[in-house]
């Protein structure tokens, strides 16, 4: 396996954990009554043999969820369906993206067994930090080659750390670039095929749009700034972490940060962008005062559709390549954040088995339909994208209505064609071409420095070179 080098913070007791967790999990025959891939791709999820014995005594499982279920209807649907299948209740403890890591670390380091799984809100940034506690249960047997083959092949680099798999993905969240169709029509422009062309389109829009309207906006707070910044780096053919070090001092990183600074200085993007998380940027786009938005998740588009200022007047594209002469292979390389459960090693084996069973259901075709078509997230399941037009017609909209009633929200409007989903093809490309990275423990410290120096560079207090030097120094420090 890959996943990075062994760090000074050792994964204490991994061998013992593997031995103990295998006792209950081995009772589940994941390849019966049908082979594992067939069970996962069945129209209705098929439970594996031996599951009842493995989860005996479990009445409820508890996990930390990204935000409130009121904004997570697909997860609620999948929890309800899992309870129907198994009789096991599922409780989600809400945590904002900013507090999920600290909550998870507290559970793991205190040996709290009341929370059975903590949240890797975005594994790129926080999985290694959670794993470094030595308090996660590996799920190596959960990802055999025939199962991994069902999903985006780039995910293989994303499921674990330090030689072990840990992730039980719940939600696959792509980050396409959303745009207003009418704005492009107004200036007679097509879709940009490079960030250089996007800048040119922005300059044309600046000439025709009034004050208070902006051609470009982006997410700028920690960690959402990296859903904006990393695609700019990837578009040039560079990963941020390669060969055991970060590359904030690379030409590609300099180009990316310079671009963000310049679009604000030119008035193409508002200075407020650096204060917006995904919700803030999404809210501004929903006012109808922005042409393009970088860094938003696919699920945010639901807010656009119900906005009278936007409605269906928007689309989505995968992040383009950097410049016209950049190789085409670097186009489409955005980011994905898989909100994922990781199992607390302190809990009993039957609870670990129940969580794996829930995780198996969550990645199934039945559950992934709910994510893609009801909530508007994305999916790593290749079959679902390849057969989207057929699968959208199989969504259980009665279950969606039931979940909405339980959450006290408006039930989603049923759709039976991907043509009714704005930006669907762009989202597909962004999801399937996305780059996946896992950063070593301590990335949050780097991110804090990054947002601070970005603000200073925009204000002219420091140069882009000086900003990136400070980030690189902090990055190097976290690896020592």
Q: Minimum mean pLDDT among 20-29, 213-222, 304-313: which range? A: 20-29
My answer on whether 202 and 233 are in the same domain is yes
Question: 189 with 63, same domain?
Answer: no
pLDDT tens for 446-468 read 999 999 999 999 999 999 999 99
383-396 mean pLDDT: 98
DSSP 50: T
CATH of the domain at 245: 3.40.190.10
* 167 and 242, same domain (yes or no): no
Chosen domain end from 410, 428, 460: 410
Q: Grade residue 423 by pLDDT with cuts at 50, 70 and 90.
A: very high
Per-residue pLDDT at 50 exceeds 70:
yes
Segment 242-249 mean pLDDT:
97
Q: What is the pLDDT of residue 24?
A: 58
Could you tell me which residues come within 8 angstroms of residue 25 by beta carbon, excluding any fewer than 6 positions away?
54, 141, 349, 352, 353, 356
Measured distance CA(192)–CA(149) in Å, rounded = 32
pLDDT band at 59 (very low <50, low <70, confident <90, very high): very high
Q: How confident is the model at residue 5 (pLDDT cuts 50, 70, 90)?
A: very low
Residue located via tokens 């967790």:
21
Q: Say yes or no: 67 and 49 in one domain.
A: yes
What pLDDT sits at residue 300? 84
Is 422 part of a structural domain of the chain?
no
At 211, list the tokens: 């004050």
Query: Is the domain of 243 the same as that of 358?
Result: no
pLDDT tens digits for range 113-163 = 999 999 999 999 999 999 999 999 999 999 999 999 999 998 988 999 999
Same domain, 262 and 307: yes
Name the average pLDDT for the chain.
93
Q: Which residue has the higher pLDDT, 1 or 79?
A: 79
Higher per-residue pLDDT: 81 or 9: 81
Q: What is the pLDDT of residue 18?
A: 39
- Of the listed ranges 6-15, 144-153, 183-192, 213-222, the one predicted with least confidence: 6-15
Whether pLDDT at 17 is above 80: no
CB of 191 closer than 8 Å to CB of 182: no
pLDDT at 382 over 50: yes
The pLDDT, as a whole number, for residue 4 is 44
State whether 169 and 188 are in the same domain: no
**Does residue 36 lie within any of the structural domains?**
yes
Instruction: Calculate the alpha carbon distances from 100 to 8, 66, 127, 139, 222 in Å.
Output: 24, 7, 11, 21, 13
**Quick one: 140 and 20 in the same domain?**
yes
Range of the domain at 447: 177-334+437-478
For 6, 16, 76, the CA distances from 357, given in Å and listed in that order, are: 29, 22, 16
Q: What pTM, to 2 d.p., does this model score? A: 0.92
Residues 208 and 108 in one domain: no
Quote the CA–CA distance of 367 and 219 in Å, as a whole number. Answer: 29
- The residue with greater pLDDT, 316 or 16, is 316
Query: Does any domain span residue 430?
Result: no
The pLDDT tens digits of the residues spanning 320-332 come to: 999 999 999 999 9
Residue 200 lies in a domain: yes
pLDDT band, very low/low/confident/very high, at 98 (cuts 50, 70, 90): confident
Instruction: Using the structure block, give the residue that is written with the tokens 């990645």.
Output: 363
Buried b / exposed e across 237-268, counting CB within 10 Å, b at 16+?
Answer: ebbbbeeeebbbbbebbbbbbbbbbebbeeeb
Q: 445 and 397 in one domain?
A: no
Confidence of residue 6 (pLDDT cuts 50, 70, 90): very low
Average pLDDT over residues 229-248: 97
Residue 14 has pLDDT above 50, yes or no: no
Distance from C-alpha of 111 to C-alpha of 354, rounded to nearest angstrom? 19
Per-residue pLDDT at 26: 63
Q: Is residue 432 part of a domain?
A: no
- Are residues 320 and 192 both part of a single domain? yes
Q: How many domains does the chain have?
A: 2
- pLDDT value for 1: 37
Q: Could you give the CA distance from residue 359 to residue 353 in angstroms, rounded to a whole number?
A: 10
Please tell me the least confidently modeled range out of 167-171, 297-301, 338-342.
297-301
Q: What percent of the chain has pLDDT over 90?
A: 90
For tokens 């599922």, the residue is 90
Tokens of 252: 């590609």
Residue 302: is its pLDDT beyond 90? Answer: no
Q: At what angle do helices 225-234 and 443-458 cross, to 10 degrees?
A: 90
Structure confidence at residue 187 (pLDDT): 98
- What confidence category does residue 224 fall into, taking pLDDT thresholds of 50, 70 and 90? very high
Residue 202 domain flag? yes
Question: Which pLDDT score, from 0 to 100, does residue 157 have?
Answer: 83
- Summarize the confidence of residues 185-195 as an average pLDDT: 98
Assigned domain for 158 exists: yes
């Amino acid at each position: 396996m890959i996943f990075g080098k062994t760090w000074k913070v050792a994964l204490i007791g991994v061998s013992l954990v593997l031995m103990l967790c295998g006792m209950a999990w081995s009772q589940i025959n994941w390849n019966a009554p049908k082979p594992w891939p067939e069970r996962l791709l069945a129209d209705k999820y098929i439970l594996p043999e031996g599951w009842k014995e493995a989860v005996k005594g479990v009445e409820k499982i508890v996990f930390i969820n990204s935000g409130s279920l009121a904004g997570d209807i697909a997860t609620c649907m999948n929890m309800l369906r899992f309870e129907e299948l198994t009789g096991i209740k599922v409780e989600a403890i809400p945590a904002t993206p900013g507090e999920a890591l600290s909550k998870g670390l507290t559970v793991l380091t205190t040996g709290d067994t009341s929370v059975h799984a903590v949240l890797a809100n975005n594994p790129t940034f926080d999985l290694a930090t959670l794993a470094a506690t030595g308090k996660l249960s590996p799920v190596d047997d959960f990802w055999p080659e025939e199962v991994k083959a069902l999903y985006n092949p780039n995910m293989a680099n994303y499921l674990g750390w330090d030689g072990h798999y840990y992730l039980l993905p719940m939600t696959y969240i792509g980050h396409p670039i959303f745009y207003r169709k009418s704005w492009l029509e107004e200036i007679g422009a097509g879709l940009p095929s490079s960030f250089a062309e996007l800048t040119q389109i922005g300059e044309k829009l600046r000439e025709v749009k009034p004050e208070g309207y902006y051609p470009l906006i982006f997410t700028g707070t920690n960690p959402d700034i990296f859903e904006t910044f990393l695609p700019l780096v990837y578009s040039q053919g560079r990963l941020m972490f390669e060969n055991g070090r970060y590359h904030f001092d690379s030409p590609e990183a300099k180009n990316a940060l310079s671009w963000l600074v310049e679009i604000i200085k030119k008035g193409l993007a508002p200075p407020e962008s650096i204060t917006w998380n995904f919700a803030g940027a999404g809210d501004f786009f929903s006012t109808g005062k922005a042409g393009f938005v970088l860094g938003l998740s696919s699920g945010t588009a639901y807010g656009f559709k119900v906005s009278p200022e936007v409605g269906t007047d928007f689309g989505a594209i995968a992040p383009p390549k950097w410049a016209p002469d950049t190789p085409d292979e670097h186009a489409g390389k955005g980011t994905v954040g898989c909100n994922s459960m990781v199992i607390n090693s302190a809990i009993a084996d039957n609870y670990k088995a129940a969580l794996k069973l829930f995780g198996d259901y969550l990645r199934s075709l039945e559950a992934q339909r709910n994510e893609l078509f009801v909530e508007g997230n994305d999916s790593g399941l290749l079959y679902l994208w390849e057969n989207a037009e057929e699968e959208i017609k199989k969504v259980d909209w009665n279950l969606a209505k039931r979940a909405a009633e339980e959450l006290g929200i408006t039930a989603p409007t049923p759709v039976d064609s991907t043509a009714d989903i704005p930006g669907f093809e762009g989202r597909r490309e962004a999801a399937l071409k996305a780059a996946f990275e896992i950063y070593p423990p301590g990335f949050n410290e780097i991110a804090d420095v990054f947002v601070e120096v970005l603000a200073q560079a925009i204000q002219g207090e420091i140069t882009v070179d000086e900003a990136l030097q400070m980030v690189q120094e902090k990055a190097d420090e976290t690896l020592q």
